[in-house]
Chain A
Amino acid sequence: MAERRGDRRVKWLTLLLVVPCLAVLCVPIYNFDKPRIFGIPFFYAWQIGWIGGGALITWLVYIAVWKDRDV
């Protein structure tokens, strides 16, 4: 299969996807009201922010590992 063709050196980058998952699963690190961001308490702002963060990391991993290599 195409995915085996010499791409092994960067495939470990896929592990970066664990970062956003851990960020939203560790409740004690974000269960606060302050600081508020645009009036939104930190609890909500942190989780909403990680939607974007997760998408960004996924995009980087896609560019680095998968793009044009496995269609």
Chain B
Amino acid sequence: MSAGPVTISVFITLFAAISSLGFLATRWKKADLSQLSEWGLAGRRFGPLLIWFLLGGDLYTAYTFVALPALMMGAGAFGFFSIPVSVISFALVFVVFPKVWTICAEGGFTTAADLVEGLYGSRTLALMIAVTGILATVPYIALQLVGLEAIFAGIGLNATVHLFGFDIELPLFVAFAVMAGFTYNGGLRAPAMVAIFKDILVWITLIAAVIVIPAQLGGYGAIFDAVPAEKLLIASSPPDSLGPHFAYFTLALGSALGLFLYPHTLTGLLAASSRDVLRRNAIFLPLYSIALAFLMLLGFMAIAAGVKDMPEFAEGFARFGNVFAVPALFNHMFPEWFRGVAFATIAVGAIVPAAIMSIAGANLFSRNIYRAYIDPKCSDGKQTQVAKVFSLSIKVGALGFVTLLPNTSAVQFQLLGGILMCQTLPSVIVGIYLRWLHPAALMVGWLAGVAAGISMAASTGFTNSLYTLEILGISIPCYSAVSALGLNLLITFAASAMLRVTSKDREIRLQGGA
């Protein structure tokens, strides 16, 4: 692919200018950055607008930008489930998360595992939550790097170095080092600062994309007419099956429940200065969802434009699959200088969430593994230092992931991560409303859910998030996270009821002593 000098220089200038802002962030809302709540949650001082930018930067990642249109291109209407997800999850932000925020602020909790330890007094349960969070975060960061790779390929920035038998992509390493540097110094302030400017670019690129591209393709009607009929709607159900309708329903529900259990989204929510900030954000965050909807339609625009069959993009599609649809579409549709803007948007869109994810993972490691199990007497400063170092390690892990393993494995592990994250729902969310759940029951439920989730995903070779259950002769295609969560909840409730009835006195004594 040819790389225009205009595209490359616009890209590099914008990327450098915006990411350098991350380094200035240490001086912003100045505070003692050796405190973990300052480094890892920016002192819980972000007002409505900043949280809006931060969560926007958090939820709409580089991978969102390239993977969701790719999904629409491949799976058609079925890929649109992210829209119901956003409708449901913002309702949850409004109703449930002010409560979570209050308990965390009052107890000084930084992570979901802190919250669980506070609710149940069980460090083991907290450890399980922390490990789940960290395991689900690494492939998520890796996916951001996959998004970056697709962008670099789209621009034509190919600078691969062959070292120790591995192909190492220089641009990826540079972008990565920039992000690691500002995160290490500024903590959550850095991605928040970058997110503001990133979002301005996102809106410019999106508005241009949804106006310029359809105009060239003959309007939205023509775009949808170019989509094959079987992709335009969700297929109807066969008689002895609940069919694709039900699958769509469970995908939407499960992803919405899992979304705000991820460490990075919770970190974003906990950085708010009050519950009111969260409620107001639940009203205004949907603005991003409208953008997201049109973003996904880029996948259909790629079909209508026919980029997949163009010889100049063949190499990109061979390497990245449908993920290359958006870079190809931008190259085909936009003038050279604007390609630079659009690609810089996605690249910065990768480093913001990746930074927040690594901070969230680091908070978990430092609080719930290091302080809980390795050095219980460590000072606040030491805890922050550990978090900083771990935020680097988790990023190196993700980088290793994309360098050593094929891109498809990041996608597969991310799929598994989503299933695992959902299994923390009983402990983190249900526990807030029902304090009588027993920690041992929650652990057993978690184990059952995780085991069921992994085996369902494994039976599809980790390629499909749906698993068809056969109950009473009816086939029920269901998102594995949801069926595993069902089992998890069933066991948690049954075991809690049993444990509470049989050992009531002992339990009270145990909790009193903790």
Contacts and interface: CB of A to CB of B under 8 A. Distances in A.
A54 B286 contact: yes
A62 B35 CA distance: 34
A38 B294 CA distance: 13
Contact of B286 (A23, A28, A44, A55): A55
Interface stretch (B85-93, B151-159, B182-190): B85-93
25 contacts: A14-B95, A21-B88, A24-B84, A24-B88, A25-B252, A27-B234, A39-B219, A39-B221, A40-B220, A43-B80, A43-B234, A44-B293, A47-B87, A48-B290, A48-B293, A52-B286, A54-B87, A54-B91, A59-B283, A61-B94, A62-B279, A66-B276, A70-B275, A71-B274, A71-B276
Nearest to A66: B279
A52 B293 CA distance: 12
Which secondary structure characterizes the binding site on chain A?
helix
Chain B, interface SS category? helix
B221 A24 contact: no
Given A24-B88, A31-B233, A31-B234, A17 B77 contact: no
Nearest to A50: B87
The size class of the interface chain A forms with chain B is 35 or more
B322 interface: no
Interface of B: 77, 80, 83-84, 86-88, 90-91, 94-95, 98, 219-224, 232-234, 236, 245-246, 248-249, 252-253, 274-276, 279-280, 282-284, 286-287, 289-290, 293, 297
Contacts of A71: 274-276
A69 B250 CA distance: 36
A51 B274 contact: no
Nearest to B219: A39
Contacts of B77: 43-44
Nearest to A26: B249
Contacts of B236: 31
A20 B286 CA distance: 12
Which of A27, A33, A38 has the most chain B CB within a 10 Å cutoff? A27
Interface in A1-21: 14, 17-18, 20-21
A25 B84 contact: yes
